[in-house]
Chain A
Amino acid sequence: MNADNNSKSNNIVKRILSNPISGPYIALIILFIISTIASPDIFPTFTNIANVLRTASIVGMVSIGMTVVLLVAGIDLSVTYIMAISACILANIMAKQVADGKDGIQLGGVLLVLLIGCVVGLINGAIIVLRNVEPFIITLGTGQVLKGIIYIYTKGAPGGAVTNAWKTFGSESLFGVIPYAVIMWVIMIAIFGIILHKTVFGRHIYAIGSNEEAARLTGIKTKVHKIMAYVICGLTAAMAGVMLLARVRVGEPNGANGYDMDAIAAVVIGGTAMSGGRGTLAGTIAGVLIMAIMNNVLNLVGADPNLQIVIKGFIILLAVLVQRKND
């Protein structure tokens, strides 16, 4: 009887451990506990956690599209500049509106920059798929083009303004509890979670990443789907740009630097394979939170900012190595 119970609970433990999503979440829990011990007075407080989530939601938004792109065995290095250009353009649009005494969410401007994100994604995807070239180098190239355009457009200086509605979005919380930015992230995660796991489109994305030639011979329109993956990535990057703008309240040409690598790291830490076909948004959430908590707690304990970068690098290495071992 006792032994029976033991084996049953062993089975449950085994099943949890063998689920690929468990690794990132176990790491997340451990990190949370360590952080609580390291900074018992500040880290576990409600305000701090809300802040961590608010920051995480921006990388988190980029990571949604990055997950989709990685699932089709691609990569997008242009997200930083998509973020920056959408933030700067929107800031300038809003500056005029604010000067005219208007306030509000400026839906037209927001939709415009989201469209720009999609168009950049479309260009990325179309070049990669139709010319059959490496996504790494193509998105690196389009990213540099965008970067130059941003500098020309802004003359390299921060500018523009943000309407009150977006100021509220960037710093306030619903009922004073959940930051608005986090709500937006969660909604997008839910939407894309459903798209990836419940729709024909999602199935095709996984099939293409798993074996592109087999997918093609199965009758899947691989080219269209791959291009769509980059469009989604451009869209979420532009959304992240809007969120970043709401948070810093000024269009900053260099404000999004580092988001590309943070997003890729978060997605990979969350268990998505860079070779495609394997990974989930649930894992990506864990990856994003791990990165955010780490940044936060290192700040709280007053670690040298340069040392923080080193530690972050090691965590990425560790996460990827642990996953490879489980393969």
Chain B
Amino acid sequence: MGEYALEMLGVTKTFSKVTALDNVNLRVKKGEIHALIGENGAGKSTLMKVLSGVYKPDGGRILIDGEEVTIKNPKDAIEKGVAIIYQELSLVPELNAIQNVMLGQEINTCKIINSKKENEFARKYLDYVGKGSLNDYKTAVKNLSVAQQQMVDIAKALSYNSKIIIMDEPTDSLTSREIEILFKCVRQLKKDGITVIYISHRLEELFELCDTVTVLRDGQYIVDEDISKINKDWLISKMIGRDLKDTFPPRRRIESDEVVMDVQGLTGERYKDVSFQLHRGEILGLTGLVGSGRTEVLRGIFGADKVKSGTVTVNGEVVNINHPHVAVQKGFGFATEDRKAQGLFLNQSIEKNITASALEQISSGGFVSSEKERKLSEDYFKELNVIAPDTKKIVKFLSGGNQQKVVLAKWLASGSKILFLDEPTRGIDVGAKYEIYQLMDNLVQEGVSIIMISSEMPEVMGVSDRIMVMHEGDMTGELHQTEFSEENLMKLSSGESLE
């Protein structure tokens, strides 16, 4: 028995002409938490898909416990003890925790499910994973929080006797409290000898949780190192292949008293009596825990959900926005948190995505001018530095960062003056994040006003001119530049007031 639980040596994978993985090595020691990082498109996901049997590698060897293996398909991977927990959880929403764990391995007599034995079997793993934070095994998992759903997914992986668990961006949609719970669970796994491969964009987490890190860049293996021996700047420089001075670009602040949007007493399903003003050229941060109602407020203003009461005034004119169509005409744009489900037409080209809400400008008499369409989309394609061969490329095939740029391009092309950005850098690598911050700064210089929702405190403080905090549907406070601190944000987020 060697010291490595998993070795992937010289793994190469090409898709038609694109080399996704070029001679990549990954060595994971037994029982460690191994971070796998790299920018989007660096090859992390492809490498993990090779490991979990989704893709066949063109070359290279995979050794599990020192023994060379061929992983034919995802089922084969599970049988060899490799389980992957995807960003998009693979649970059946209508089934409960126990049924989800047992899915595909139902205990039955003559095909009739023996629920008593299933309960016993599944509880063993659910209790182990969810200790104290996951109690209700009988409710449909769609009613559980994302963190709880993850636990069910982990329990499911363990129930297959997995020795290696891959977690792909597990904390992306978790609140900080939920992250703590997840970390506890991961550390417990480690204690019990399970090897974890941990993929994340949040570098702070790696230092808190992981033992070793492997860096990939452009489909190539760059380095692996003990976490204790390195720091964040070193990691970033390895990821992007150059030194990155600051995480946030310098902000050129605009002092303006001109109110572009005034919200008074807005009340909806999940928030009540929310009032605030947005100034011209301002980046207003909006934060709070997941479930605090921050996204719902913006959706309400935008006309995506029904509002019970309250008024919205745009440039001095009271508006009644009952459909996003009206919002777009009034100059609003909304880059939603879930890009794939709510922002993009994934199977359409970059061009058609960019022009989707600007068709009025480039058409006459209802007929779209393909010349104007080409020009408009190419202008923003270039301005936002979308990395793709051309604007005809289907959006599905772009990385997260580039997809987000396409979403932003769509709103810029439609001439939005008030932009709502909900978690604009979620799932995006460091380099692209910087570009998006820079773009936001450029936009406010041009008179656009932005409300940015973010769960990441450094981001909210690094980018915003002013921060509003929500807690369980209430606006709990507003912080000006001089008051920005993690402590203040935490207090307001948990419903306390500042003295």
Contact = CB atoms under 8 A, between A and B. Distances in A.
Interface centre among B325, B356, B368 (most CB of A within 10 A): B356
Contacts of B344: 211, 214
A218 B328 contact: yes
Given A211-B344, A211-B345, A214-B343, A219 B325 contact: yes
A213 interface: yes
Contact of B328 (A200, A203, A219): A219
A220 B325 contact: yes
A186 B311 CA distance: 52
Contact of B367 (A198, A213, A217, A219): A198
A210 B343 CA distance: 11
B54 to A, nearest CB: 15
Interface centre among A200, A218, A278 (most CB of B within 10 A): A218
B327 to A, nearest CB: 7
B345 A200 contact: no
B356 A200 contact: no
B304 A217 contact: yes
A277 to B, nearest CB: 6
Interface string B362-387: 01001110100000000000000000
B324 A218 contact: yes
A199 B363 contact: yes
A215 B329 CA distance: 15
Given A199-B367, A277-B347, A218 B304 contact: no
A214 B366 CA distance: 21
Nearest to A276: B347
B342 A217 contact: yes
Nearest to A200: B359
A220 B414 CA distance: 13
A216 interface: yes
Interface in B292-323: 302, 304, 323
B179 interface: no
Contact of A207 (B328, B345, B368, B414): B345
Nearest to B335: A217
B356 A203 contact: yes
A53 to B, nearest CB: 30
B275 interface: no
Contact of A211 (B325, B341, B355, B370): B341
Contacts of A278: 347
A218 B359 CA distance: 11
A221 interface: yes
Interface in A211-253: 211, 213-221
Contacts of B346: 210-211
A210 B324 contact: no
Contact of B366 (A199, A215, A221): A199
A217 B336 contact: yes
Contact of B352 (A199, A203, A213): A203
B304 A200 contact: no
Interface centre among B324, B327, B344 (most CB of A within 10 A): B324
Interface in A8-54: none
A185 interface: no
B324 A219 contact: yes
A314 B137 CA distance: 45
B231 interface: no
Nearest to A327: B347
Contacts of B414: 219
Interface string A194-206: 0000111101101
Nearest to B334: A217
B350 to A, nearest CB: 13
B323 A218 contact: no
Interface centre among A200, A217, A219 (most CB of B within 10 A): A219
Given A200-B368, A203-B352, A221-B323, A210 B345 contact: yes
Interface string A274-317: 00011000000000000000000000000000000000000000
A70 B281 CA distance: 44
Nearest to A202: B368
A82 to B, nearest CB: 26
Contacts of A220: 325, 356-357
B366 A216 contact: no
A186 to B, nearest CB: 21
Interface centre among A204, A206, A213, A217 (most CB of B within 10 A): A217
B341 A217 contact: no
A219 B327 contact: yes
Contacts of A206: 345, 348, 352
A213 B324 CA distance: 11
A217 to B, nearest CB: 5
Contacts of B325: 219-221
Nearest to A211: B345
Nearest to B348: A210
Contacts of B156: none
B357 A219 contact: yes
Contacts of B273: none
Interface of A: 198-201, 203-204, 206-207, 210-211, 213-221, 277-278
Q: Which 10 A-B pairs have the closest CB atoms?
A: A219-B328, A210-B345, A218-B357, A200-B359, A219-B325, A199-B366, A218-B356, A213-B342, A219-B324, A219-B357
Interface of B: 302, 304, 323-325, 327-329, 334, 336, 341-348, 352, 355-357, 359-360, 363, 366-368, 370, 410, 414
Given A200-B366, A217-B302, A219-B329, 18 more contacts: A200-B359, A200-B367, A200-B368, A201-B366, A203-B355, A203-B359, A204-B359, A207-B345, A207-B348, A210-B345, A211-B346, A214-B345, A216-B304, A218-B356, A219-B327, A219-B357, A277-B345, A277-B348
26 contacts: A198-B370, A199-B363, A199-B367, A200-B363, A203-B352, A203-B355, A204-B359, A206-B348, A207-B345, A210-B347, A210-B348, A211-B342, A211-B344, A211-B346, A214-B341, A214-B342, A215-B356, A216-B324, A217-B302, A218-B357, A220-B325, A220-B356, A221-B323, A277-B345, A277-B348, A278-B347
